[in-house]
Chains A and B, each alone.
Chain A
Amino acid sequence: SQQGEEDPQALSIQEGENATMNCSYKTSINNLQWYRQNSGRGLVHLILIRSNEREKHSGRLRVTLDTSKKSSSLLITASRAADTASYFCATDLTGGGNKLTFGTGTQLKVEL
């Protein structure tokens, strides 16, 4: 199945810094979603951006979408140790039957 590529694979920052993760995908989408996963747990939905949107905010999260480049970014501002987790982008592909295709993920570590 087609899968988005995320970079970086791993990111380590200090508390208070911003964290940026990027996601690229291959085909046209209905929407793109970002999820968070704590180690060994299920996924938590963070934010959804539709194909006709370019930017979206939710609290300390900012997501951008560039459909011409088939890429998205997730910015976490003023990071906290509790933000330590894996972050995945997931695409709802056009004509994909509303199945989500997940990216490779970014492991974020926020150190005190």
Chain B
Amino acid sequence: GAVVSQHPSRVICKSGTSVKIECRSLDFQATTMFWYRQFPKQSLMLMATSNEGSKATYEQGVEKDKFLINHASLTLSTLTVTSAHPEDSSFYICSAKVSGSSFFRYTFGSGTRLTVV
């Protein structure tokens, strides 16, 4: 259980266009979703935390106007990369917090490889 479906898995877009990435929780309600980016052979860096029905909280250095996050329902969170540039090319991964006993478990989407040309 606790599966997060992330789409698309790969996307190539032209510089200046916008790209939307979706993450859906399939069998549970995700009140909190985390968005990460990962450069090749590097670790995951948290970009923002989204809570259903409220504004996302962005990490320091992440442009909120460039990376728009919407978490309008308990099963869907989206990340839109606006006016994408080649330096935005990266691997983006979402993660949902799953409640369980006295601690939280996290389940990850399969990631989206964004290439901006």
Contact = CB atoms under 8 A, between A and B. Distances in A.
A67 B44 CA distance: 23
A43 B113 contact: no
B111 A42 contact: yes
Given A40-B91, A42-B110, A98 B45 contact: no
A41 B34 CA distance: 16
A103 B43 contact: yes
B111 A41 contact: yes
Interface residues of A, number: 26
Interface residues of B, number: 27
A42 B109 contact: yes
A45 B105 contact: yes
What secondary structure prevails in chain B residues at the interface with A?
strand
A99 B46 contact: yes
Contact of A1 (B46, B93, B113): B46
Interface of A: 1, 3, 30-31, 33, 35, 40-45, 48, 50, 88, 92, 97-105, 107
B43 A100 contact: no
Contact of A97 (B49, B60, B103, B113): B49
B106 A100 contact: yes
B53 to A, nearest CB: 17
Contacts of B105: 45, 48
Nearest to A107: B41
A42 B34 contact: no
Contacts of A101: 46
B49 A99 contact: yes
Given A33-B106, A45-B106, A97-B49, A40 B44 contact: no
B7 to A, nearest CB: 12
B97 interface: yes
